[in-house]
Amino acid sequence: MTILVSFISTSWKARGGDVVKFGLVFGLMLLVAAPVLEMERAEAKGVYTVPEGNRFKTQPKIPRSSFLRTRSSKSSFEKKYEKVRELLATDRKLLAKIKKVAKKYDIDPIHMVGALVGEHTYNIDVYDHLQTYYAKAAMYTGSRFRFEYEGESIEEFLERPQFEDCKDIKESYDLWGCRQAVWKKEFMGKTVDEKAFPKDRFSKVFFQPFYSGQTFGLGQINPLTALKLSDLVHKKSGYRKLDENDAAEVYKAIMEPDISLAFMAALIRKSIDEYRDVAGMDISKNPGITATLYNVGSPQERAHALRRKIKQSGKRIWPRENYYGWLVNDKVEDLRALISGKSAKKKD
């Protein structure tokens, strides 16, 4: 700001008080300085903006499971990236929907594009046409199945006394967060009332009735994640709240592209909010970090873990991207060009 004031002062003297020229210079400098001022205000409140780009010089190790999935489809990461890029480049209706939804959740659309690219490069191949996703979603209409584990429905399971402290929580994100914490502490890998429970995630044990993967649809959303974000999506997008006792409706929501995009945006919005409120980090300018959190999940827990590390070290510690987020930051110019409708030079 000192530089800005000095520059304006000099400009005023050099132009002999030319008000018009000064106004132009002043206006231009304010435009340039606005992002800096915004960052300074945030940091004054103890919130630090995570710099753009990757912290790692080279891409972190890609999990073996990603290699196996890609090999089984006789493809490569490069081909899968080009395939999802092609869908985004040619389906302008999809990009228009992404921009519209991103605006509702007050996020840059690059975060949604990055998550889609990461998912369909390292996890499931993207379909060639958006219409295929609508057709897949329609398959769940009228279907009868439920979330359960060895004959015990999720409704029955949540009536167990261990969940008593969660009952008064109204907001879906906090409610399911509480239930996940109870699962991890009281049931995961333990025998309760003569029933053995697997040492595995709550989402995998109770919310995977088809045993064909844990995430689904265009946004590759987990059913439990959808339940957590239900209230936010209802508030922002107007879709009706999800009920764990209506499994078909949950699956339809995460499979139907328009609704799936809303859940994607809600998850990214929550990640940004958690890191700001808990860890004092503004990750909204780094799509590689939001993509990483989209990939690994549990943004609240990870924000608390980062806060503890910062407190213990007494230093500012930036969150780091994983292999998935690294790709998004590495390709960010190409992806932004897709959003703007312009072509960008591809990196070798």
pLDDT per position in the chain (348 positions), as tens? 444 444 334 443 444 455 444 444 444 444 444 444 444 444 545 899 999 999 999 999 999 988 988 888 788 999 999 988 998 998 889 999 999 999 999 999 999 999 999 988 998 755 544 455 545 555 555 556 789 999 999 999 999 999 999 999 999 999 999 999 999 999 999 999 999 999 999 999 998 766 555 566 778 888 999 999 999 999 999 999 999 999 888 988 888 888 999 999 999 999 999 999 999 999 999 999 999 999 999 999 999 999 999 999 999 999 999 999 999 999 999 999 999 887 544 444
Res 214: pLDDT:
58
pLDDT at 148: 93
SS (H, E, C) the chain: CHHHHHHHHHHHHHCCCCHHHHHHHHHHHHHHHHHHHHHHHHHHCCCEECCCCCCCCCCCCCCHHHHHHHHHCCCCHHHHHHHHHHHHHHCHHHHHHHHHHHHHCCCCHHHHHHHHHHHHHHCCCCCCCHHHHHHHHHCCCCCCCCCEECCEEHHHHCCCHHHHHHCCCCCHHHHHHHHHHHHHHHHCCCEECCEECCCCCHHHHHCCCCCCCCCECCCCECHHHHHHHHHHHHHHHCCCCCCCCCHHHHHHHHHCHHHHHHHHHHHHHHHHHHHHHCCCEECCCCHHHHHHHHHHCCHHHHHHHHHHHHHHHCCCCCCCCCHHHHHHHHCHHHHHHHHHCCCCCCCC
Right CATH for 47-141+215-348 from 1.10.530, 3.10.20, 1.20.950, 1.10.238: 1.10.530
Structure confidence at residue 136 (pLDDT): 58
Q: Write out the residue limits of the CATH 1.10.530 domain(s) in the chain.
A: 47-141+215-348
What pTM, to 2 d.p., does this model score? 0.81
